[in-house]
Amino acid sequence: METLEAIRTRRSIGKVHPDKPVDKSLIETILEAGMWAPNHHHTEPWNFFVQQGEGRRPLGKTLRKIAVESMDSEEERSDDEQARKLAKKEEKPFRAPVVITVVVEPATKDKVVDIEEYAAAHAAVQNILLAAHSLGLGAIWRSGAPTYHPEMRRLYNVSERGGVVGFIYIGWPASTKKKEQRRQDIEEKTTWMNEDMG
């Protein structure tokens, strides 16, 4: 698949076959694509946590724990409907056979700017998504408030300067139907600066 075609045709695919395994060699190919993301000062500030099988359980338990913390009272926690919601939270990582958590750990070198390290980790995520797409796999980059919670940082042993940048759920697509998407016209997002306007 050509690069521009991969960029244009990639979609976030959340519905994959949860029990259909993805070969380890494919995951390694995908991770290698992540490793080739641009990064200032060659710091390679990312770490990848590949979770499969029951290895997804700690993520599920952490999502549940964070959800419990956000509830107001013991009564609310014991309600049957809430119990079902909490169980659903814990099962979230099991929607895909592979979950890759991407963590950024900014380097301690002089001149390293933390926001650039985060940008590099985000670029690694995009490379991973494109590689998965090019191999016929479905993938989606998930995040949200629990991603940045102290419990999530603890799970992945993230430093004070570092952070979890997201969870990439990967599997074989449950459907071949793709949503048609449009982007805004490039003119709406581009300013051409060809002269000194100052």
Mark the binding-site residues for FMN, compressed into ranges: 10-12, 40, 141-143
Q: How many helices (H) and strands (E) does the chain have?
A: 8, 4
d(CA 171, CA 21): 7
Q: Find how far residue 31's CA is from the centre of its chain.
A: 12
**Residue 132 and residue 130: Cα distance in Å, rounded?**
5
Please report, in range form, the residues annotated as the binding site. Answer: 10-12, 40, 141-143
DSSP-assigned beta bridge partners for residue 104: 46, 163
Structure tokens at 30: 């995908």
Q: Residue 17: which of 92, 90, 128, 97 has the closest Cα?
A: 97
